[in-house]
Structure 1
Amino acid sequence: MKHIFYRLLCIGLLSGFVISCSDDSVSPAEVRDNPLAMGNPSGATTDPASYTNYLLEKPQYALSYHRDRGTPNWVSWHLSKAWLGSASRQDNFAPDNTLPTGWFRATSASYTGSGFDRGHNCPSADRTGSVADNAATFLMTNIIPQAPNNNQRTWADLENYCRTLVNGGNELYIICGSYGRGGTGSEGQANTIADGKITVPNRIWKVIVVLPAGTNDVSRVTADTRVISVNTPNTSSLNPEWATYRTSVDAIEKATGYDLLSAVPASVQSAVEARVDDGPVN
């Protein structure tokens, strides 16, 4: 009986040690956080009657979709090392079958011959943790008509810089969106593509909240937190240096009518949203 007691005691102690080690081994950088932790910029809902501001929540990102434009208004996601891995680019552009019945569902063919790239909002390279994560970025509700040089140079460099920040020990909350009508791609200027079913945006913007990897993220946003805001024209003649287009959150809010960091305390919002970032760019 005594031997059984000691055996049970040892098993209990060992189990406790394993659990303790398991908990301690999960670093903040390995956590996948809520993509809407900083707020729902437009108050999007899942009511199909909100067809210009319809909320879609994926495991990988959240977005507001505009039925009549055939594109997202904005896409919001969290980026930490937990989202990065070795999954390859899937290139499996596909209609989003979670849209309400009867709504237009863009396909890859909707962009064929348009002169515009199928531009990701949440980038493929931000979701390489698994094949499923990467495939989700190729749903057409995450895609906009984007001028080739905007997509492949200016925007690509900014996306790469975001991942550099993550590899440096940070986690990011990113909101990307577009507005206006009319851009210039490789075939010239256009207001719409796909026989008028998809609106070509005039401007493409992004807001990036940079935090050291940690927990309780919203509470850690302070007046000194780095927030990078960029707003580019949707043309192929733009400057390849994304820093040229740095602006303030306030300016993007004025242009879109959104409340971009609504979950952050008002006093902190006032400070970070008025500032134009002047930090490093690579």
Structure 2
Amino acid sequence: MNALLKEWSRWASLVALAGVSACSSSDPTPTANLPEHLTLGNPSGAITDSKQPTNYLLSKRQYALSYHRDQGKPNWVSWHLDASWRGSATRQDNFTPDPSLPAGWYQVQASSYTGSGFDRGHNCPSADRTKTAADNSATFLMTNMMPQAPRNNQQTWANLEDYTRTFLSKGQEVYVICGSYGKGGTGSNGFKTTIDQGRVTVPARCWKVVVILPVGDNDASRVTTSTRVIAVDTPNDTSLGTNWGQYRTTVDAIEAATGYDVLSAVPAAVQQVLESRIDEGPVS
């Protein structure tokens, strides 16, 4: 990413974390829980301003995201996962429109994906938020969904999600940033560029970055050149393999494809090393 955009992203991240809108706006900016889920940065410099409909920051207790009104899906979703987020709450399966979007914006419905051939693919997974029923329900808001090919969602992506949670029993915590980009994917009913009468864009690619740390404090400053970072970029179609490891890439490549600064709060010298490296660790 070019230096100017990186600088803007870092500045906007700091502004958001301070609870101040980067633009003049009458919209309230929810800030109480931004530090946890944006600890490693705000990849696109998203702000809570209805005049920024393609990069609108939603900060929830369970995760933070940049929403794209015109695509009906998130640009990216970012969340922190440690043992405190896991519990005995069951999967709620209560897909619902997100009432926190600005008045007048189209609300993607639970039925918007019906008959499309694409799953309502979670960005922040249901199984990452099982402490309470309310936490789990938050993952079923439609602003957390992307149209995902069933094989991708139910096998490849699910295998990576399951693997990510294994770190919690090893005295570790993780930060996850994921999203989608491009236009056009192949679901069970064939290739489509949009669904829901054009209101929801079907992405061409689904990506994820996972940062693994030992449990501790001051997490962004504890990321070093030895930290394990997994970056994955998968095609959104029905032909991909179930082994997510074959889709590993660099953070740099994801940034080049999306225009984001994914780990903007991590020291620049550390970013330079980590973001150019393809993970070679175990996949299960």
Using the size of structure 1 for normalisation, the TM-score is 0.88
Equivalent residue, structure 1, for 2:36: 34
Q: Residue 161 of structure 2 aligns with which residue?
A: 159
Aligned residue in 2 for 1:68: 70
**Quick one: distance in 1 between partners of 2:141 and 2:37?**
17
Aligned to 1:125: 127
Aligned partners of 2:248 and 2:87: how far apart in 1? Answer: 29
3-state SS in 2 of match to 1:109? coil
Q: What CA distance in whole angstroms lies between the structure 1 residues aligned with 2:170 and 2:196?
A: 41
Deviation for aligned residue 1:167: 1.7
Aligned to 2:110: 108
Gaps of 5+ in 2: 1-33
Give the structure 1 partner of residue 4 of structure 2: none
User: Which of 183, 206, 209 does residue 208 from structure 2 map onto?
Assistant: 206
Identity of aligned residues (%): 66
Supply the AA of the counterpart residue of 2:216. G
Cα pair 1:147 1:185 within 8 Å, conserved: yes
TM-score (norm 2): 0.87
Larger Rg: 1
Matches of 1:161 and 1:124, distance apart in 2: 14
CA drift at 1:219 = 1.1
> Could you tell me how far 1:33 is from its partner in structure 2?
6.8
Deviation at 1:166, TM superposition (A): 1.6
Match of 1:220 among 209, 219, 222: 222
1:215-243 Cα shifts (integer Å, max 9, x gaps): 11111100110000000000011011000
- Displaced runs of 4 or more, over 2 A: none
Q: Deviations over 1:38-66 (max 9, x none)?
A: 00000000011110000000000000000
Unaligned residue ranges in structure 1 (runs of 5+): 1-31
State the SS of the aligned residue for 1:108. Answer: coil
Q: Size of the alignment, in residue pairs?
A: 251
Matched residue type, 1:185: G
Counterpart CA distance in 1 for 2:175 and 2:139 is 16
Taking the TM superposition and a 5 Å limit, the aligned residue runs for 1:122-201 are 122-201=124-203
Counting only pairs closer than 5 Å after superposition, residues 74-93 of structure 1 correspond to structure 2 as 74-93=76-95
* Deviation sequence 1:20-44 (CA, Å, 0-9, x none): xxxxxxxxxxxx9700000000000
Cα distance in 2, alignment partners of residues 252 and 269 from structure 1: 13
Alignment-derived partner of residue 248 in structure 2 = 246
User: Please, what is the CA RMSD of the aligned residues?
Assistant: 0.9
1:255 aligns with one of 257, 271, 283: 257
1:17 is matched with none
State how far apart, in whole Å, the 2-side matches of 1:63 and 1:206 are. 13
Q: Is the CA contact 1:56–1:65 (under 8 Å) kept in the aligned structure 2? A: yes
Q: Distance in 1 between matches of 2:134 and 2:169?
A: 22
| Distance (whole Å) between structure 2 residues aligned to residue 154 and residue 47 of structure 1 | 35
